[in-house]
Amino acid sequence: MPSIPYFEIHAFADPDQAFSGNPAGVCLMEAFPDDQILKGIAASNNLSETAFLVPADAQSWQLRWFTPTVEVDLCGHATLAAGAVVLEYDLGTPGTARFDTRSGRLEVKRDGAGFAVDLPLIGYQPASRDDAIASALGIAAEPRDVLSVNRIHGAGYQMWVMDDESAVRDARPDHGQLRQLDTNIILTAPGERSDFVSRFFAPASGVDEDPVTGSAHCTLAPYWAERLGKPRMSARQIGPRPGALDVEMHGGETEGGRVTLYGHAPRYLEGRLWT
């Protein structure tokens, strides 16, 4: 196989903080090779997601996302990263990067010094608190809400809503326990410097803690929009590698709605992969 143009982009980086945001790999390919090769590249990169792009036509790309262990149906931060590469290098329609994915047509546009990515809303339903999950999360406080989230990373998926930011910041999850429970968790609360904060734990999908998770904000956005009565909100992910973004609702807070995420996507490195 010939060498592959490769980029690492730090999606949703905080412009005021170095080494922030969620690193995503972006590979430009002429055609998709065997899935085992894609999985091998993603595992070797060992980033929460690697995006693989293949031209669909002169104005759009086919886009697939892999964690180090599985292919996923939606990845927001790697879509933002892929869009940043396409737009920065003029590889598509000026002003808009268009992608055909497992989640339908997604678009990335320039937004001032940053970018905006359009994603589908991901719904949720009420769920019951589970003692085993509470223990695995390492939280002392009781959640305000426990919600079941539609699956997008191939495992059970919940959102736990806490009363204050410190409960999210101080969580010390047992990733091995969460992996055994086959459960990924969005942990969220009102923010001290933003409308809301979150962390995302996905050991059941091969990522112990994702730095800034675009797909999680497709559920966080409708929840907080309804609770705060605001269509556009500021958000921060506050784990060991933080990041910042804005979220905006479109088309209502139910299935079929859309979420726009706004953020920065600085380039960290570029080169070629040899497989």
For residues 117 and 87, the answer to whether their CB atoms sit within 8 Å is no
Specify whether 49 is catalytic. Answer: yes
Cβ within 8 Å of residue 70, ≥6 positions away: 153, 154, 205, 206
Integer Cα distance of 66 and 41 in angstroms? 9
Integer Cα distance of 237 and 162 in angstroms? 14
Integer Cα distance of 240 and 217 in angstroms? 18
CA angle, residues 98, 104, 109, in degrees to nearest 5 = 30
Helix (H, G, I), strand (E, B) or coil at 127: coil
Tell how strand 196-202 and strand 232-237 pair up. Answer: parallel
Question: Which one of 30, 49, 142, 165 is the catalytic residue?
Answer: 49
- For residue 116, what are the CA distances in angstroms to 157, 182, 267? 25, 32, 16
Nearest in space to 79 (alpha carbons), one of 60, 58, 59, 98:
98
Helix (H, G, I), strand (E, B) or coil at 218: helix
CA angle, residues 27, 4, 43, in degrees to nearest 5 = 60
Active site members: 49
